[in-house]
Amino acid sequence: MEDAIKLPDVCETMADVRAGVDATDRALMELLDLRFGYMRAAARIKADREAVRDEGRKAEVINNARTDAEERGLPASELADIWDQLVECSIAYELHRWDSTRRD
């Protein structure tokens, strides 16, 4: 049976750290799966393909991530760049889903 994952402040070995990172990566993937589920819902709900790309909403999401990162003392600019890529990937995914559900 797998040992319990230790929180960062109580890690004693690199094995502890690596186990925590791996578990966190799996949890992030689960959250991304949920996020992309919302993209599938958006593709189903939006009647107009042009509504998929919303630059105002994109800027809002990235700014929210930047602000949250700043408040947590994380590298805000770099995380905003990651969020920009995440949003672009999400838009591409949503466009694909939108198109695939409306084929003749």
Task: Compute the distance between CA of residue 83 and CA of residue 62 in angstroms, rounded to an integer.
Answer: 6
Angle at which helix 55-72 crosses helix 76-100, to 10 degrees, equals 150
Q: Given 3-state DSSP classes, what are the helix, strand and coil percentages for the chain, each rounded to the nearest 5?
A: 80, 0, 20
Tokens 């105002």 locate to 56
Please indicate if the annotation marks 46 as binding a ligand: yes
Binding-site positions read: 18, 35, 46, 94
Binding-site positions for substrate read: 18, 35, 46, 94
